[in-house]
């Protein structure tokens, strides 16, 4: 718990998972909002603390859902330990679905779990989705889900799991801890989230002529790594090898050019033995790609754009907690400049504090279009709880 914070705020950070402290906080929230629940964002280093969270919520009589992330955002910086507890007033409809890879149509399972809770008059809600980062076809699932739910909901979300991209159970509720799944929350508002990455539109395009899910096999009918290696050398003067690929790949992401001129980022994180490139997120066959100009580390464009989107969508964010998911690949690229970017976001929005986590891919809609997409290198934000739901 951080000194100076009120016990009645809608979010609380704990640097360690102490059962008694957790129960004390949960009891306070339950007294204020008897039907409240909790969303927990847990740091990867404390993944063994899930049973402690589950036991504390059982003792306090509070419903629990949560996810494990590589790191948390706390006090304007990245924290490798601890947990954020986020109050959910009138515990919303939710579902924890495991083993999506074993389901012929994962979107059907998500729809079936939530459709009975959607308003009969089609009043929009916000569908929050936390996927296990090891699910390989999140983009396709989102596309299928949109065909079923369309604009009945706004979309936001993030990928949980280990920054090593090694499998680990990372989604949980009051009794279970699962892998290869999705945690769904249906919030009773239509605002969704605001997101921005700040990468400039590409000038020169190439074609992903052969792909399979997250892997690019060929670009312009040539082996993918050969083309990628040549273009990085020609544009940036960096010689890529198998040995330094992970070190440099995050700095030279691909951009998928969309028909409306927007760009979706795909970060290559692994070079396979056959020369194919493994990206965070699917790359459709025949996508038009470019190597993106990464945001300059001293650029304010990303935060200015994001703050304006938040203002337009949510109004003034002053004195409200800002839920934020910050891409792990973006932090790797920016290095020491990532933390000042959080500080800039705090100043520019005027929010009370930033609450959130380091994510392994982000979910949201670009511009005014409601279509959900899977992103890399992005910040995704929304104020937490409406002002009337907060205890001052």
d(CA 14, CA 37): 17
- pLDDT 10s digits, 206-249: 999 999 999 999 999 999 999 999 999 988 888 999 999 988 88
Distances (CA, A) of 5 to 29, 88, 388: 14, 18, 19
pLDDT at 339: 95
Nearby residues of 123 by Cβ (< 8 Å), 6 or more positions away = 190
Centroid of chain to Cα 111: 20
**Residue that has been written with the tokens 């979910």 in this structure:** 363
Task: Please identify every stretch of the chain with a pLDDT value under 70, giving residue numbers as ranges.
Answer: 1-8, 119-122, 202, 294-299, 367-369, 386-392
- pLDDT 10s digits, 37-70: 999 999 999 999 999 999 999 999 999 999 999 9
Biggest alpha carbon–alpha carbon distance for the chain: 63
pLDDT at 120: 62
pLDDT at 367: 64
pLDDT at 4: 35
């Amino acid at each position: 718990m951080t000194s100076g914070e009120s016990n009645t705020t809608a979010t609380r950070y704990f640097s360690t998972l102490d059962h008694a402290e957790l129960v004390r906080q949960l009891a306070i929230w339950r007294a204020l909002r008897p039907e409240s629940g909790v969303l927990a964002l847990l740091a990867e280093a404390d993944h063994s603390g899930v049973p402690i969270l589950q036991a504390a919520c059982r003792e306090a009589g509070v419903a629990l859902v949560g996810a494990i992330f590589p790191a948390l955002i706390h006090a304007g910086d990245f924290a490798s330990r601890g947990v954020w507890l986020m109050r959910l007033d009138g515990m919303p409809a939710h579902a924890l679905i495991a083993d999506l890879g074993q389901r012929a149509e994962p979107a059907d399972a998500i729809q079936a779990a939530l459709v009975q809770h959607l308003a009969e008059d089609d009043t929009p809600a916000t569908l929050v989705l936390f996927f296990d980062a090891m699910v390989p076809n999140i983009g396709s699932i989102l596309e299928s889900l949109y065909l079923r739910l369309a604009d009945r909901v706004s979309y936001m979300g993030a990928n949980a799991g280990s920054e090593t991209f090694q499998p680990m159970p990372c989604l949980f509720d009051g009794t279970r801890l699962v892998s290869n799944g999705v945690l769904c929350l249906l919030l009773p508002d239509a605002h969704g989230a605001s997101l921005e990455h700040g990468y400039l539109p590409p000038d020169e395009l190439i074609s992903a002529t052969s792909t399979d899910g997250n892997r690019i096999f060929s670009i312009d009918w040539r082996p993918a790594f050969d083309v990628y290696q040549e273009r990085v050398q020609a544009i940036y003067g960096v010689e890529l090898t198998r040995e330094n690929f992970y070190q440099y790949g995050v700095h030279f992401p691909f951009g998928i050019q969309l028909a409306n001129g927007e760009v979706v980022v795909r970060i290559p994180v692994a070079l396979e033995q056959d020369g194919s490139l493994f990206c965070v997120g699917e790359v459709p066959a025949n996508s038009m790609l470019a190597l993106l100009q990464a945001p300059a580390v001293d650029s304010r464009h990303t935060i200015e754009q994001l703050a304006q989107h938040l203002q337009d969508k949510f109004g003034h964010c002053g004195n409200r907690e800002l839920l934020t998911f910050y891409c792990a690949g973006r932090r790797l690229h920016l290095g020491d400049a990532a933390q000042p970017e959080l500080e800039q976001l705090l100043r520019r929005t005027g929010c009370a504090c930033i609450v959130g986590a380091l994510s392994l891919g982000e979910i949201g809609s670009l511009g005014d279009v409601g279509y959900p997409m899977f992103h890399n290198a992005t910040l995704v934000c929304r104020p937490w709880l409406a002002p009337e739901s907060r205890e001052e």
